[in-house]
């Protein structure tokens, strides 16, 4: 990590000629990219580190191309020779979702959605002029195979985890029919692919887009569906209807021939369904398989969103098996499976999570009832046995990548969380005050540190419970508030 920070500082100086006073690591998102806010003599900027060179090249090309057409994107300031690091204009730290959460559905928020969709239409249609789709990361077009991939993503990572019986062959037939129906659209332009309020930054009352490197050619309706039906935004139906009408008017002004609005809305509803299912698949993968709690807490919202859609909208095609499955997964019983108890300010429970070295023995707990857990991480391959990692800890990116990619740590922590969650939920309900969750490894430096950090973050995100995090060997006590 120190080497990376040094490289970022060097790139900053190459850009502006001045020194970086400090570099702050930003919270991880769902990708492998790491972001930093760099402060210095020329002001702040954002540094992105990504070892996926092709993805970087795609992002840089997209930004340059759409930037020429005044699409509101961050400016590229400087790129390293390795192409693994680049500096971006700092658009601030407030996204559209933050404003919704803080203000609710106010006229200002509606106006920001309206502006965002207007700029989206320009990006999609005007931006396609001279665009080289061969620069896309994966597929050049969101066609039948990509649609089927999204549907299967939903099937494997969400539907199948529910253990609901269904005819698998008939379901695949319905998937095929839906994919064919959605590909028969007359409006295929640039598709952002993940156009949601978290990817719209707001600065000085204007929206700016980020995280568009997954874009490809596709139906106009997909991006609009992604934004208006984002579960966490919980937009009123009247807003969805009016914003869609405004967007279609914007598209009409940019196209040579007017839209067939009835046909457009019919397929739009199909893409809404597809997007809702793709999101459930993503939540299932990130939450149920990777044990990332904030994705788990989003599942009930997504299911309620899907239920409302099924009750009020039609996609214009009959899919008997698929339709029944969708009704089955939005029942109160299924939604209740994913609703978790949450701590409040009055909840007395504090979970003490710690890492330690078995060389020093298991630390004594100050819990008067002696309750809690001690998990032995020594069954996980030790990064400390390899020279590049010996002086690093479980908080360094190199060690994190090693544990996540070359060991069974993720599987281990998934089972740990399943066990610990039972006690946490029970202790919150019963008003208990303390619970200990300790992780030990040989030196208390790599595996146990990573495990303790991961579980502390999981408990805070999933339950909102107070967590005291302590690394005995590292001697770096920290509180997660």
In DSSP notation, 196-230 reads -GGGEEEETTEEEE---TT-EEEEHHHHHHHHHT-
Q: Is residue 169 part of a domain?
A: yes
Question: Phi/psi at 464 (nearest 5 deg)?
Answer: 65, 25
Any domain includes 106: yes
Give yes or no: residues 304 and 191 share one domain: yes
Instruction: Give domain status of residue 345, yes or no.
Output: no
Assess whether 265 and 303 both reside in one domain. yes
Both 168 and 305 in a single domain? yes
Whether residue 54 lies inside any domain: the answer is yes
Q: Residue 342 falls within a domain, yes or no? A: no
Q: How does DSSP classify residue 365? A: P
Residue 310 lies in a domain: yes
Contact 424, 459 (CB under 8 A): yes
| Class of residue 413 by CB neighbours under 10 A (exposed 0-12, middle 13-18, buried 19+) | buried
Of the three residues 337, 367, 402, the one that is the final residue of a domain is 337
At residue 125's C-alpha, the angle toward residues 122 and 131, to 5°, is 110
Rounded Cα distance between 264 and 416, Å, is: 48
Do 105 and 144 sit in the same domain of this protein? yes
Q: Could you tell me which of 269, 271, 314, 276 has the C-alpha nearest to residue 159? A: 276
Residue 235: the pLDDT is 94
CATH of residue 70? 3.30.200.20
Q: What CATH number should be reported for the domain holding residue 141?
A: 3.90.1200.10
Same domain, yes or no, for 130 and 209? yes
Whether residue 265 lies inside any domain: the answer is yes
Characterize the bridge pairing of strands 434-441 and 373-376.
parallel
Domain count, the chain: 3
Q: What does DSSP say about strands 466-471 and 350-357: parallel, antiparallel, or unpaired?
A: parallel
Closest to 194 in 3D by CA, of 22, 345, 29, 61: 29
Q: What does each C-alpha distance from 113 to 74, 222, 228, 248 come to in angstroms? A: 19, 16, 9, 14
Q: Are residues 331 and 454 in the same domain?
A: no
What distance in Å separates the CA atoms of residue 316 and residue 327, rounded to the nearest whole number? 17
pLDDT confidence of residue 476: 46
Instruction: Note down the domain range covering 158.
Output: 96-337
- Tell me which of 337, 368, 393 is where a domain ends: 337
| Cβ neighbours of 365 (radius 10 Å) | 17
CB 451 within 8 A of CB 409: yes
Predicted confidence at residue 481, as pLDDT, reads 36
117 & 246 share domain: yes
Cα–Cα distances (Å) from 266 to 183, 203, 303, 306, 315, in that order, read 13, 35, 22, 17, 6
387 within domain boundaries? yes
Residues 6 or more apart from 38 whose CB is under 8 A from it? 8, 9, 12, 20, 23, 24, 44, 45, 46, 47, 87
Q: Which of 63, 89, 115 represents a domain boundary (last residue)?
A: 89
Q: Tell me: do 330 and 358 sit in the same domain.
A: no
Residues 448-479 have pLDDT tens digits of 999 999 999 999 988 899 999 999 998 644 43
**Which residues of the chain fall short of a pLDDT of 70?**
28-31, 291, 293, 366-370, 475-481
Residues 260 and 278 both lie in one domain: yes
* Strand-by-strand arrangement of the 350-357 sheet: 373-376, 434-441, 350-357, 466-471, 478-480
Q: Which of 19, 274, 286 lies closest to 142 in space, CA to CA? A: 274
In contact, 28 and 17? CB cutoff 8 Å = no
**Which pLDDT does position 287 carry in this prediction?**
82
Angle at 97 between CA 93 and CA 103, to 5 degrees: 100
Q: Angle at which helices 168-183 and 320-329 pack, to 10 degrees?
A: 100
Residues 34 and 80 in one domain: yes
Q: Determine the pLDDT at residue 462.
A: 85
Residues 100 and 68 in one domain: no
Residues 205 and 327 in one domain: yes
**Strand, helix or coil at 290?**
coil
Fill in the DSSP letter of residue 232: G
């Amino acid at each position: 990590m120190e080497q990376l920070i040094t490289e970022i500082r060097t790139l900053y100086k190459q850009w502006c000629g001045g020194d970086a006073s400090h570099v702050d690591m930003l919270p991880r998102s769902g990708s492998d990219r790491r972001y930093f806010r760099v402060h210095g003599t020329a002001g702040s900027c954002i540094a992105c580190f990504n070892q996926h060179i092709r993805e970087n090249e795609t992002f840089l090309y997209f930004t340059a191309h759409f930037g020429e057409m005044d699409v509101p994107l961050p400016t590229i300031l400087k790129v390293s020779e390795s192409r693994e690091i680049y500096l971006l204009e700092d658009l601030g730290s407030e996204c559209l979702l933050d404003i919704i959460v803080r203000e609710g559905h106010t006229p200002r928020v509606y106006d920001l959605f309206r502006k965002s969709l207007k700029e989206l239409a320009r990006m999609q249609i005007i931006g396609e002029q001279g665009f080289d789709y061969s620069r896309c990361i994966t597929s050049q077009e969101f066609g039948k195979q990509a649609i089927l991939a999204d549907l299967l993503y939903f099937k494997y990572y969400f539907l199948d985890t529910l253990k609901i019986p269904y005819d698998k062959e008939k379901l695949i037939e319905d998937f095929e029919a839906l994919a064919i129906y959605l590909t028969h659209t007359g409006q295929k332009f640039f598709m952002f692919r993940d156009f949601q309020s978290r990817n719209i930054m707001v600065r000085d009352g204007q929206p700016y887009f980020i995280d568009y490197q997954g874009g490809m050619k596709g139906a106009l309706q997909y991006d609009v569906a992604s934004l208006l039906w984002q579960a966490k935004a919980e937009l009123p139906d009247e807003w969805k209807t009016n914003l869609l009408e405004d967007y279609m008017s914007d598209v009409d002004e940019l196209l040579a021939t007017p839209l067939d609005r009835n046909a457009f809305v019919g397929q739009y509803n199909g893409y809404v369904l597809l997007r809702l299912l793709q999101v459930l698949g993503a939540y299932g993968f990130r939450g149920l398989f990777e044990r990332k709690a904030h994705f788990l807490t989003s599942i009930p919202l997504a299911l309620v969103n899907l239920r409302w859609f099924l009750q009020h909208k039609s996609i214009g095609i009959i899919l008997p098996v698929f339709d029944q499955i969708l009704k089955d997964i939005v029942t109160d019983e299924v939604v209740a499976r994913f609703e978790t108890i949450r701590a409040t300010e009055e909840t007395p429970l504090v979970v003490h999570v710690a890492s330690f070295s078995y060389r020093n023995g298991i630390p004594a707990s100050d819990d008067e009832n002696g309750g809690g857990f001690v998990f032995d991480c020594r069954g996980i391959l030790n990064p400390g046995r390899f020279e590049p990692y010996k002086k690093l800890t479980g908080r360094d990116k190199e060690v994190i990548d090693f544990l996540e990619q070359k060991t069974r740590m993720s599987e281990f922590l998934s089972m740990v969380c399943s066990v610990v969650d039972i006690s946490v939920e029970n202790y919150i309900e019963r008003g208990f005050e303390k619970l200990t969750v300790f992780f030990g490894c040989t030196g208390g430096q790599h595996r146990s540190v990573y495990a303790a950090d991961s579980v502390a973050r999981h408990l805070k995100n999933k339950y909102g419970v107070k967590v005291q995090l302590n690394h005995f060997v590292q001697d770096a006590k920290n509180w997660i508030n």
